Amino acid sequence: MIEVIGLTKKFKEVTAVDNVSFKVDKGEIVGLLGENGAGKTTTLRMISTMLKPTSGTAKICGLDLVNEPDKVRKKIGILFGGEVGLYDRLTARENIKYFADLSGLSSEEANRNIEFLAEMLDMKEYIDRRVGKFSRGMKQKVAIARSIVHNPDVMLFDEPTIGLDVSSSAIVQDFILDCKKKGRAIIFSSHSMREVERLCDRVVIIHKGRIVYDGKIEDLRREYNGEDLEKVFLRLVGDKDE
């Protein structure tokens, strides 16, 4: 469903992502693990067509992201961490509707999806209130609904739980698992091995723009004789420093 092929991004002299290739299947969660500045966000921005790759490409549902970025965008939903990125002066419904409209959904389709999501995420009570005064958890639900309102086949999560408290994190993690159940292909970036361990089927460890490990979590554990995975991660990214 997602096939990343030799993706490379250079910013002037710096190579942020260097010849990265990996695959994600339907209903699979792949963890993109790396330290800050390893190239996770840049990789996800390229897959979501926000940045143009210097070389290489990726195929999303068979569509080439360099040649057909518009079609690719229809297939992707993104949920990026940090600021939730909502318009405070619009209501929750208007926020979601705006992105549904911009994704090319018909008005009936948009309204139907919003009703469904309001039910699913338990937001009916406040869907018509302005988001400015919402709690972080409420905002997070609106952001989730917005990311998925156009029914994408592929979901990209960039450190979505960063800065969230336990209950808000749980909302996001439940959502990711729900996406998996619905057969979406998911890339989930994080700098925490614990989170990746809990959610992901496979892990791609990236360091200084290069892939240093790509495989199943069990295989990783087996390879290092049941050692604590946090330590394995540190060893993997540490080795390359020398």
Residue ranges that bind other proteins, judged by CB under 8 A = 11, 45, 48-52, 70, 73-74, 76, 78, 80, 82-90, 94, 98-99, 101-104, 130, 146-147
Least Å distance between CB 89 and other proteins? 4
Residue 131 CA neighbour count, 13 Å, CB half: 23
Closer residue to other proteins, CB minimum distance, 45 or 184: 45
Contact status, residue 2 vs residue 157, Cβ threshold 8 Å: no
- Residues sharing a CB contact under 8 Å with residue 83, sequence separation 6 or more, in sequence order: none
Alpha-carbon torsion, ordered 105, 111, 115, 117, to 10 deg: 20
Nearer to other proteins, 128 or 228 (CB): 128
Q: What's the CA gap between 164 and 119, in Å, rounded?
A: 23
Going by C-alpha positions, the residue among 112, 173, 104, 116 that lies closest to residue 140 is 173
Choice between 22 and 80, CB closer to other proteins: 80
159 versus 197: smaller Cβ distance to other proteins = 159
| Cβ 51 to other proteins shortest distance, Å | 6
Considering beta carbons, is residue 99 or 224 the nearer one to other proteins?
99
Nearer to other proteins, 75 or 202 (CB): 75
Minimum CB distance to other proteins, residue 144 (Å): 12
CB of 90 to other proteins, least distance (A): 6
What the block records as the tokens of 33 is: 């693990």
Shortest distance in whole angstroms from residue 237 CB to other proteins = 24
Give whole-number Cα distances, 225 to 70, 192, 198, 219, in Å: 46, 20, 19, 10
For tokens 């990996």, what's the residue? 22
With both helix axes pointing from N to C terminus, report the angle between 107-120 and 92-102 in degrees, rounded to the nearest 10: 130
* Nearest-approach distance from CB 215 to other proteins, in angstroms: 29
